[in-house]
């Protein structure tokens, strides 16, 4: 739709005219501010989550988890991309000096902050999921979405 609008404005004598082709979907998925009535997952996402690198000692990661009060510990690389998640039971069962990467789970499901929050919470309820990792389109971490926060 925007290419047609851009061409029409050019034809009408406007200029220069630019087309932000990736549009609102790209903007909202990047967790950028917006105006309007939408209630998106990003608005309810907890930002201050415990994070660690794959090489972080398990004991240190457990300390981060205790300090934060909720988890899991999200394992990110140097670019902030989520590589996996380490859960308390896995961390507690491993030697304190072991690397988090040895106990983390790789297959972590993620959602974009642009998802409708109520629809996401409903879907999570159907699957008995209490929290989900929120990332931008490039995989970088935003935080954790807890379905219960929708009702807070």
Chain residues binding another protein by CB under 8 A are 1-28, 30, 32-38, 40
**What's the closest the beta carbon of residue 13 comes to another protein, in angstroms?**
7
Which CB atom, from 19 or from 54, has the smaller least distance to another protein? Answer: 19
Cα distances (angstroms) measured from residue 16 to each of 1, 13, 19, 141: 18, 9, 10, 36
Which backbone phi and psi does 39 adopt, to 5 degrees?
-115, 95
Query: Closest Cα partner for 99 from 60, 72, 128?
Result: 60
**What's the closest the beta carbon of residue 128 comes to another protein, in angstroms?**
29
Which CB atom, from 44 or from 84, has the smaller least distance to another protein? Answer: 44
**What's the closest the beta carbon of residue 80 comes to another protein, in angstroms?**
17
Pull the structure tokens for residue 34: 């917006």
**What's the closest the beta carbon of residue 76 comes to another protein, in angstroms?**
22
User: Distance (Å, rounded) from C-alpha 150 to C-alpha 133?
Assistant: 15
Which CB atom, from 3 or from 69, has the smaller least distance to another protein? Answer: 3
CB 112 within 8 A of CB 43: no
Which CB atom, from 8 or from 105, has the smaller least distance to another protein? Answer: 8
């Amino acid at each position: 739709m925007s290419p047609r609008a851009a061409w029409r404005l050019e034809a009408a004598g406007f200029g220069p005219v630019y087309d932000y082709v990736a549009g609102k979907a790209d903007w909202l998925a990047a967790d950028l501010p917006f105006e309007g009535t939408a209630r998106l997952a990003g608005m309810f996402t907890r930002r201050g989550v415990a994070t660690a690198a794959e090489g972080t000692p398990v004991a240190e990661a457990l300390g981060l988890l205790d300090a934060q009060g909720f988890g899991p510990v999200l394992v990110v690389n140097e670019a902030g991309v989520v590589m996996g998640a380490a859960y308390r039971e896995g961390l507690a069962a491993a030697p304190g000096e072991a690397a988090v990467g040895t106990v983390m789970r790789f297959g972590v499901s993620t959602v974009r902050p642009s998802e409708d929050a109520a629809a996401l919470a409903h879907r999570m309820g159907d699957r008995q999921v209490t929290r989900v990792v929120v990332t931008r389109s490039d995989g970088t971490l935003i935080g954790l979405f807890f379905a219960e926060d929708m009702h807070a």
